[in-house]
Every structure is written in C-alpha cells, then in structure tokens.
Amino acid sequence: MSLPSLETTPIPGLVVVRLDRRDDDRGFFKENWQREKMLAIGLPDFGPVQNNVSFNAERGVTRGIHTEPWDKFISLATGRIFGAWVDMREGETFGATFTLEMDTSVAVFVPRGVGNSYQVLEDATAYTYLVNAHWRPGVAYPALALDDPTVAIAWPIPLDQAIISEKDQNNPALDPATAIAPRRTLVLGGGGQLGLALAAAFPDAHAVTRAELDLTDAAAVRAWPWHDYGVVLNAAAYTAVDAAETPEGRVAAWAANATGPATLAALAREHGFTLVHYSSEYVFDGTAPLEPGHTEDEPLSPLGVYAQSKAAGDLAVGLAPRHYLLRTSWVIGEGANFVRTMQSLAAKGVSPSVVDDQVGRLTFTEELVRATRHLLESGAPFGTYHVSNGGPAMSWREIAQAVFERSGRSAKDVTATTTEAYAEGVLAQGKPFAPRPLGSAMSLAKIRATGFEPEDAMSALERYLS
C-alpha cells in the first residue's frame, strides 16, 4: 500500500492524515496505523500504549471538548463524524480552532493540550483512538463547553438536538487563566559545569542535583513525578577519570554513568519524555584519523573504567524512543577546568609541561547548550550527535599556549611532554591513572547537516578568557 499524506492545520502539531483506503464490493481495507509509514510522512513517533474504541449508536451523539494530557491518533472504523479541535495550550494560538468532516479514509493526530471533540453524522459510528499515556483515576482533565461562544464551533447538528452527556453539558467556558502549560524540562546534574549552563539557558527548567534525586535510589525514582516533564536533560555524570580506576570509583562510575542512563531510558519509554544525554569521546580508543575524526556510527572501543561506564550508558540511552545522545570532548565551563588552570599558571609565572600527543577540540558549555536547544527546537531526527566547538584539532599543549598568549605570556613558556611520561609521574606518586584516547577529534558533519554550525574554538576561548 502507498504512503498516506499529511496536511497541516492552523493548530500547531494538529495534522490531518489521508489514509490509503482500498475499497471493493466486500467493503474496504486500510492500514489504520503503520509506524514506519507514519514517521516517513512526518508524524512524531509518539509511542501509543492504548487503543480505545467509542461506539456511537445514533446520529447526533456529541462528545467533548476534552483535553487529556496525552497525544491521540484519531480515526474511524465505521461511519462519519464532524471533528472539532481547540488549542488549549499557553501561547499565541490559545483558543484557535479547526474542524473537519471525517470518514474512514481520514485520520487526525492530536497533540497533548489540544481539546478534542466530535459529533456523529451517521448511526453506528465506531470512533477509534490511540493514546500514548494511561488514564489515571482520580485526576480531573481540562474540558471546554461545546457551545462556548468564543470558539463558536459551527456544529452541523444543533446542540439542542444532539445527544450529550450530562457531564459534557456542564463543561466550563474558555479561560486563559486555565491554559495548559507545556510540560517542564528537568535538568539532572544541575550543580556541575554543564548542568549550571543548562539551568541558566533554560530558566523555566527544574534543575536538581544528585542529592535531590538519586537515580540509583529506586524509591526516589518511583516517587518522582516523571509525567510532569516533556524533556529531561541528563548532565549528571561521574567524571573523575583516574579515580574511576579505584575499587570505590569503579562502583560510583558505573552507578552514575551506566545505571542512571539505563533508568532514564526506561522512564522515557514509560512516560514519553525526550531524553537528552551527554557522553564523551572517551567511548572510543582514539585511533581514528583526525579527519574526519570519530563518527557517530563508529564501534565503541573504551579504554578505561570511566570510558567503559560511559559506553554502557550510551547503549542504554539508545533504547529510549525519543533521545538525543550528544557526545562531546574537553568540556570547559564555569568552575575548575584546564583553561582556568592554565590561565592561573600564566598569571603566577609558572611554565608548565603539557602533553602534546593528545589531540582534540574544546567544547565550551555554551556551545553544548546551543546545540541542545537547536536539536530540540529544530525537530532534528532523534539519535546520536557529536558536538564540540569547531576549528582545527589541537593538542593540549597548543591550547595551553593559546591561553598563555592571551594572558600576556609567551607560547614558548609551555613545554611539551607525552602522555606516557605524564602517566609515569602520576603512578610514581601512588595515584591511579586511566588510559586516555590520543585522538579525541570527532566528526561534526552530522550535526552540521541539521543546520547547526559550531563556533570556532579559539573564538570561544577569546570570549571565555575575557
């Protein structure tokens, strides 16, 4: 069967689907919902969990206007209806309406927050709908009067001649004060470099630390109101690369970097939120050519415990239906980091030795935030994206030299060493040392293809230091 076709409406997200119905002398056949084809024409992968049928014995039955907190895919098994929809969400289109006469060849996708109603035009009409959340007892869902004068729906059968339940006869009038707010954004790891940047960039988000929500605490996870969130930004991670090589660190790294993301992926499937997870180039062994660098589809090849725990988290997040996995490298934000350390050494007159055989690109937290917003707002395909600042790949020594030059010191004041020599010095002190990927540069072609252009790392460095 051929692809259905999609038509937009004045209500954002509400779309009409013209189905491929095949008729003969026996009746008709149609693919009422075929996921692959629906995604191909642009419908969201909304993950239905329940299929309901409302049978209406007589012409004139009128139901609605109901605004439950889930998405719906509406169609008919038999008969004909007049469908009417009202945007009940906060925003410029609050109160906007759309109406359509539907038979069995037409379907409508109704996003969360849009009031849904219909009037039956033929006896024995079977109205069917897929929904992506379960009805919860004891919860009152918003509704709107069928005869509300503001939206003024032109019902083909006058309401005084229609069959309407007592409940629907007493629904309230349109009131901007009761407009449905979008589901919130949750920032996990709100106290870290990236979490702080995300919380600042998404001021309406709810940012929490691990002390406030520990994903390894089953009771805390069960008690958390996950259905309130439309997007979860997971900036929580164990980042002590060397300490992860210790017995205690190994447990902590796997709990934060693998178990936590696996829990979130399961919750995303259950509650339908979009999961944004931040990972690391450490999931690779660093042997890819610097050009184009590590690609999103490259097999994982982690070296140390931290890297292995991050790789496990990547695999888990990939099971979430709606996910963006952002792998990044050499993150710089507020607080202690390599750039601030080099700036401090330059100010103190110290001349450090810095490794020159690890090569990659800096990623400033504001760039990660910008990429996150771009993916969410552009509706880019879900999946894995590599994100860093742009420009040529550089060694840690070259970056240190750039910091020194911008701090009034000579680049020659930063001398070179190797990762092997640096590791020997650390191990000689009885401290743990994790293996590092020497090639950390990642290909940025995939995120560029979505319309995102990374800012040059040295331009971002100039601004950061100033």
Positions annotated as catalytic residues are: 66, 129
**Separation CA 122–CA 104 (nearest Å):** 12
What residues are paired with 5 via a beta bridge? 18
Q: What is the pLDDT of residue 307?
A: 97
The reported pTM is: 0.85
Report CA Rg, the chain.
27
**Separation CA 345–CA 364 (nearest Å):** 20
Q: What is the pLDDT of residue 21?
A: 94
pLDDT tens by residue, 116-162? 999 999 999 999 999 988 877 777 788 999 999 999 999 999 999 99
The per-residue DSSP string of 311-325 comes to HHHHHHHTTSSSEEE
Q: What is the pLDDT of residue 150?
A: 94
Q: What is the pLDDT of residue 1?
A: 73
Q: Which residues of the chain are modeled with pLDDT < 50?
A: none
Beta-carbon contacts of 195 under 8 Å, excluding residues fewer than 6 positions away, are 187, 188, 189, 207, 209, 235, 236
pLDDT tens by residue, 187-201? 999 999 999 999 999
Question: Quick one: CA dihedral 60, 63, 64, 67, positive or negative?
Answer: negative
Q: What is the pLDDT of residue 302?
A: 97
* Domains identified in the chain and CATH numbers: 5-178 (2.60.120.10), 184-465 (3.40.50.720)
- Residues 306, 434 contacting (CB under 8 angstroms): yes
Q: What is the pLDDT of residue 135?
A: 78
